[in-house]
A and B are shown apart, each in its own frame.
Chain A
Amino acid sequence: MRNDTPVLHVESLVVETTGTSPRTILKGVSFEIHAGETLCLVGESGSGKSVSSLATMGLLPPRSLRATGGRITLDGESLLEASAKRLSALRGSRMAMIFQEPMTALNPVLSVGQQLDEVLACHTQATRAERRTQVLEALEQVHLPDIQRVYQSFPHQLSGGQRQRIMIAMALLLKPRLLIADEPTTALDVTTQHQILALIRELQEKHGTAVLFITHDMGVVVDIADRVCVMNTGEIVEQGPVRELLGAPQEAYTQRLLAAVPSLTPRPTRPVTSQRQVLSVSELEKEYAPPRRLLGFIGKKRAGTRAVDKASFTLQAGRTLGIVGESGSGKSTLARCVMRLIDPTSGTIRVDGNNIAELQQRSLKPHRGRIQMVFQDPYRSLNPRLTIGQSLIEGPMNYGTSRAVAMARAKELLQLVGLPSDAIERFPHQFSGGQRQRIAIARALAMEPDVIVADEAVSALDVSVQAQVLALLDDIQQRLGVAVLFITHDLRVAAQICDDVLVMQRGRIVEYGPAEEVLGNPQDSYTRQLIDAAPGRTWDFAACAPVA
């Protein structure tokens, strides 16, 4: 199906920052995509994947980045020399783009119908009625249910998966020659991701669209790519057909990247080292009250939303319990209840034998130190105005440790998490995402807790950094015997770090047991569905070969 002229041809593209001392962001990037073909750009954050796509669309932020060299041609037409008006005309009609975050990519104050309609209104002469018909057809093509209702809806009334379908419908309305998809499934649950990838494939086959697919997830690459370009620090390190590149990576960087992908096969069960039960939760429930109505106190009481429904589990010192599930399954609510960041409706939470479920703020304080949390986003969980040292000593000092002692301990902790001791004087913005997550772990450890709750603690990190942070958690657990409650949506990560796994769906625990059994031989149909939807499960990254 490949013909000779590529739909998109990028040749030696150079992008620099604006300003007096420009930095080079893209150092001569070249690739091409033919009709009906999917090219995956893979690489870690900062490698220049998104900049390449934004340069193609002519959407580089004009105040900070500009293309200073090379050529981009779309069907033979040079884009870097095109006028702003011409680029506007091409965007949406000949080349279209879908973005990572379906939650924020649609305008919250305009209805879905309006947002699709304006694409046609600005690129075609169609009448209002014709446009409406076309929009409804497009919504049908992306398999949205009840399209009349969706047409009238506002984005916040739809789920993430539905919004991404709308983005795809919008991008493909005018049957563009090129579709750029920038991490389109990263923010979605695995089962939704699976459906969206299938949808992109289906529509691509139907219309012969060339797809530039940007992702950091090697699993997704396996499922969607025809060819792959590996990028690192603004350069293309290696490119080739997907099977060849994954099967026999030539460059050291590619090899390292592939080796860091966690395997879906659970690691062998570790021997139980301690019988001390540090956390035990039983029959925990959290119900959110229904919205208030006028005269709501009269008549039948409306049911609230049950975010966590009778959850029970136990955790021994030195063990890791994974809580997996899709968004909205209640896993974060459960963690927040256990931390007593929100109040559970009923049930007990025993930390080191003491029930903390119903304690008031004051009597809760002595127990707070026993259980500490590491959050998802290391860029926002550290106070930007405090030095690392101040962040680390704040907790212990609140519990009466003297400043000098707390500071000495903070230095030890930084060493423990693999950071130089001079880090103590510095501020969070001077560190990378991985380093910040190490700091967040050190901050949690400063309280000498029995339990660390890690809520998607490695989800925002690149795979190679993710592997390092997971290894660090493992190492700390060996040395200090701390128990970890590890919340994740990523089954690969769960398989590599957890001793036990608890699968949640709509607030209920559907399966709970040793990781080897739950992930290796799932009993519940929902668990099976999750595992089947995990991207790239047909490929064994460690062996560089398809799964036998």
Chain B
Amino acid sequence: MFAYFVRRLLAAIPVMLVVALAVFLLLRLAPGDPAAIIAGDTASAAQIESIRVALGLDQPLHTQFYLWISRLLQGDFGTSLISQTSVMGMITQRLEPTISLALAAIVFTVLIAVPLGVIAAWRQGSFIDNLVMSVSVVGFSVPVFVIGYLLIQVFAIELRWLPVQGYRHLADGFGEFASRLVLPALTLSSVYIALIARMTRASMLEVLKEDYIRTARAKGLGERLVLFRHALRNAGVPILTVIGTGFALMVSGVVVTESVFNIPGLGRLIVDAVLARDYPVIQALILLTAGLYVIINLLIDLSYALTDPRIRY
């Protein structure tokens, strides 16, 4: 298992290099002179030239790449063209809100979707099954911002249980932090609850046909044990896959939820950077996202081995 882990980490190096190369070329292959694009419409020739030198664009390509990579390895992602602050600093600032939101959403998803899926599969064709399935169609089809505004209307404006929007850092106290996270996390999880409840149901239906489920019943075990101890763990691999990918998706793009709840997270940073053509920020965010996917995929694969003893790496 450890050897596998090391091998996978080593295998991630070429992947990240290819991503880095693509990101590097992104700027160089953009139509026109990157320095001119960066400088904007009103820049003078001297300004463009100074940007070109600052970016090292007067050097040959391989030298540029080498310089860029070696800075990256030192944690230097460059400086934002717009705010003139360090890209690394901008990202770390935004990381906490996004990661907190994604984690909370995943926790809600698992706590709500998995039991719903299990019960729906157990009582296949019953009222509760139909209810879960129809609610999950709603979860898929209603846009996220609608769900967000509905939740705000009900829980923040009418019932006044929770704040309307905003974000507080965990360092400012857990109560403040958590109360502002509940509604956005629920909003964000709506699609994933629908998806994972369906996945769980489908996967459980397969497993419930297996011989060992019949064995478990023949032993005289109660239904709760049959479902949760014997069936769910066997149904787990596809569910884990979706949960892992879901988490990666949440971290890399939760623009709508962040906008509805006015949370200063990564999603909005991405949109702002793209709109402003802030290339150093875009590059850093693409690299970060790619790295995140590599790590999450590795964690998903390792989690298979933890749920299923037959999987050995």
Q: Interface of A with B (CB < 8 Å)? A: 57, 59, 63, 88-93, 96-97, 99, 101, 104-111, 118-119, 122-123, 154, 156, 167, 170, 293-294
Instruction: Write the chain A residue with the least CB distance to B214.
Output: A59
Give which listed residue, B3, B220, B233, contacts A123 with CB less than 8 A: B220
Q: Cβ of B218 < 8 Å from any Cβ of A?
A: yes
- The reply to whether A122 and B222 contact each other, CB–CB distance below 8 Å, is yes
Complex interface: chain A residues within 8 A of B206 (CB) = none
- The reply to whether A109 and B215 contact each other, CB–CB distance below 8 Å, is no
Q: Given A119-B220, A123-B220, verify A105-B6 contact (CB < 8 Å).
A: no
Q: Cβ of B211 < 8 Å from any Cβ of A?
A: yes
Complex interface: chain B residues within 8 A of A59 (CB) = 214, 217-218
Instruction: Please list 20 pairs of residues, one from A and one from B, whose beta carbons are closer than 8 Å in the complex, sorted by A's number.
Output: A59-B214, A63-B124, A88-B220, A89-B220, A91-B219, A91-B220, A92-B220, A96-B218, A96-B219, A99-B211, A101-B211, A104-B211, A106-B212, A106-B215, A107-B212, A108-B308, A109-B234, A118-B229, A119-B219, A294-B4
Instruction: Write the chain B residue with the least CB distance to A104.
Output: B211
Complex interface: chain A residues within 8 A of B233 (CB) = 109-110
- The reply to whether A110 and B220 contact each other, CB–CB distance below 8 Å, is no
Complex interface: chain A residues within 8 A of B310 (CB) = 108-109, 154, 156
Interface residues of B in 110-125 (CB under 8 A from A): 124-125
Q: Given A104-B211, A104-B212, A105-B211, verify A110-B230 contact (CB < 8 Å).
A: yes
Q: Cβ of B15 < 8 Å from any Cβ of A?
A: no
**How many Å from the CB of B53 to the closest CB on chain A?**
46
Complex interface: chain A residues within 8 A of B229 (CB) = 110, 118
Instruction: Write the chain B residue with the least CB distance to A103.
Output: B211
The total of interchain contacts (Cβ-Cβ below 8 angstroms) comes to: 82
Complex interface: chain B residues within 8 A of A105 (CB) = 211-212, 214-215
Interface residues of B in 206-233 (CB under 8 A from A): 210-212, 214-222, 225, 229-230, 233
Give which listed residue, B210, B214, B225, B308, contacts A118 with CB less than 8 A: B225
Bound complex: CA A59 to CA B213 (Å): 11
- The reply to whether B216 and A57 contact each other, CB–CB distance below 8 Å, is no
Instruction: Write the chain B residue with the least CB distance to A92.
Output: B220
Bound complex: CA A118 to CA B308 (Å): 19
Complex interface: chain B residues within 8 A of A293 (CB) = 3
**How many Å from the CB of B222 to the closest CB on chain A?**
6
- The reply to whether B309 and A108 contact each other, CB–CB distance below 8 Å, is yes
Bound complex: CA A109 to CA B307 (Å): 7
**How many Å from the CB of B215 to the closest CB on chain A?**
5
Complex interface: chain A residues within 8 A of B62 (CB) = none
- The reply to whether B221 and A88 contact each other, CB–CB distance below 8 Å, is yes
Instruction: Write the chain A residue with the least CB distance to B232.
Output: A109
Complex interface: chain A residues within 8 A of B214 (CB) = 59, 99, 105
Interface residues of B in 129-179 (CB under 8 A from A): none
Complex interface: chain B residues within 8 A of A90 (CB) = 220
**How many Å from the CB of B211 to the closest CB on chain A?**
4
Bound complex: CA A156 to CA B311 (Å): 10
Which of A89, A107, A167: most chain B CB closer than 10 A? A107
Bound complex: CA A104 to CA B214 (Å): 10
Instruction: Write the chain B residue with the least CB distance to A58.
Output: B217
Bound complex: CA A119 to CA B211 (Å): 17
Given contacts A59-B217, A119-B219, 4 further A-B contacts (CB under 8 A): A92-B219, A99-B211, A99-B218, A108-B234
Bound complex: CA A154 to CA B307 (Å): 12
**How many Å from the CB of A100 to the closest CB on chain B?**
8
Interface mask (B1-38 → A, CB under 8 Å = 1, otherwise 0): 01110110000000000000000000000000000000
- The reply to whether B220 and A93 contact each other, CB–CB distance below 8 Å, is yes
- The reply to whether A97 and B222 contact each other, CB–CB distance below 8 Å, is no
Complex interface: chain A residues within 8 A of B217 (CB) = 59, 91
Complex interface: chain A residues within 8 A of B2 (CB) = 294
- The reply to whether B309 and A170 contact each other, CB–CB distance below 8 Å, is no
**How many Å from the CB of B136 to the closest CB on chain A?**
22
Instruction: Write the chain A residue with the least CB distance to B212.
Output: A107
- The reply to whether A63 and B125 contact each other, CB–CB distance below 8 Å, is yes
- The reply to whether B219 and A99 contact each other, CB–CB distance below 8 Å, is no
Give which listed residue, B210, B219, B230, contacts A104 with CB less than 8 A: B210
- The reply to whether B215 and A57 contact each other, CB–CB distance below 8 Å, is no
Which of B2, B215, B217, B310: most chain A CB closer than 10 A? B215
Bound complex: CA A318 to CA B180 (Å): 82
- The reply to whether B218 and A57 contact each other, CB–CB distance below 8 Å, is yes
Interface residues of B in 294-313 (CB under 8 A from A): 307-310
Bound complex: CA A320 to CA B124 (Å): 51
Instruction: Write the chain B residue with the least CB distance to A99.
Output: B211
- The reply to whether A107 and B308 contact each other, CB–CB distance below 8 Å, is no
Instruction: Write the chain A residue with the least CB distance to B213.
Output: A107
**How many Å from the CB of B308 to the closest CB on chain A?**
6
Complex interface: chain A residues within 8 A of B309 (CB) = 108-109, 111, 154, 156
Complex interface: chain B residues within 8 A of A294 (CB) = 2-4, 6-7
**How many Å from the CB of B236 to the closest CB on chain A?**
8
Bound complex: CA A205 to CA B25 (Å): 80
> What are the nearest 5 A-B pairs in CB distance?
A294-B3, A92-B220, A91-B220, A104-B211, A92-B219
Bound complex: CA A59 to CA B214 (Å): 8
- The reply to whether B212 and A118 contact each other, CB–CB distance below 8 Å, is no
Complex interface: chain A residues within 8 A of B210 (CB) = 104
Complex interface: chain A residues within 8 A of B234 (CB) = 107-109
Instruction: Write the chain B residue with the least CB distance to A101.
Output: B211
Complex interface: chain A residues within 8 A of B124 (CB) = 63
Bound complex: CA A141 to CA B2 (Å): 38
Q: Given A63-B125, A108-B309, A156-B309, verify A91-B211 contact (CB < 8 Å).
A: no
Bound complex: CA A384 to CA B311 (Å): 31
- The reply to whether A118 and B215 contact each other, CB–CB distance below 8 Å, is no
Q: Given A105-B212, A110-B230, A156-B310, verify A122-B125 contact (CB < 8 Å).
A: no
Complex interface: chain A residues within 8 A of B6 (CB) = 294
- The reply to whether B216 and A107 contact each other, CB–CB distance below 8 Å, is yes
Q: Given A118-B225, A294-B7, verify A107-B215 contact (CB < 8 Å).
A: yes
Bound complex: CA A170 to CA B221 (Å): 13
**How many Å from the CB of B240 to the closest CB on chain A?**
13
